Amino acid sequence: MIQLRPLTLLEANRAVTLWHSHHKPVRGHRFSIGAHVGGELVGAVIVGRPVAAGLQDGLTAEVTRLVTNGHAHAASRLLGAAWRACRAMGFTRLVSYTRKDEAGTCYRAAGWLVVAEVNGREWQTGNKALRWLPGMYAPTTEIIDRTRWQIEASQ
């Protein structure tokens, strides 16, 4: 049986380091939740503020990392728990992204909907190209199209 417990950012990032296929740990979060089976951590979700400026309305949060060791149903349970926690804090929308080559089965199982297809692009737009020293910015993941998933209070 899966038990849900709060995680520190350090604990959640350790899981990201172990299990995430293409992302590094995050620098900050609003909260993180762990899925445990028999006292062993089998998954983690990290929720933070939206990365996209257009979604930063104060009522939207973003799943910035979701990882499991492959345990059945852990990912959808974590997504459901993240949404319940967000609702309890007054958020009205929770978003997340998957790569186009990922099925998103756990999102569907947790009641999320596809709301946008996002074209991959360089993150050297806006002021990023001018930060620190020219040429010092290195992307943390490959440039690939993504699917934006969402769950909201009106669903």
pLDDT, one tens digit per residue, over 32-70 is 999 999 999 999 999 999 988 999 999 999 999 999 999
pLDDT > 80? residue 127: no
pLDDT confidence bin for 155, thresholds 50/70/90: confident
Extents of the domains making up the chain: 3-118+147-152
Does residue 115 have a pLDDT over 60? yes
* pTM, full prediction: 0.86
Cα–Cα nearest to 105, from 55, 147, 145, 63? 147
The answer on pLDDT for 153 being more than 60 is yes
CATH number of 3-118+147-152: 3.40.630.30
Query: What is the number of alpha carbons within 13 Å of residue 139 lying toward its C-beta?
Result: 11
- 151 versus 127: the higher-pLDDT residue is 151
The mean pLDDT value for 66-91 works out to: 97
Q: Is the pLDDT of residue 138 over 90?
A: no
- Report the pLDDT value the prediction gives residue 22, as an integer from 0 to 100: 78
State the pLDDT at residue 125. 55
Tell me which residue has tokens 């998954």: 43
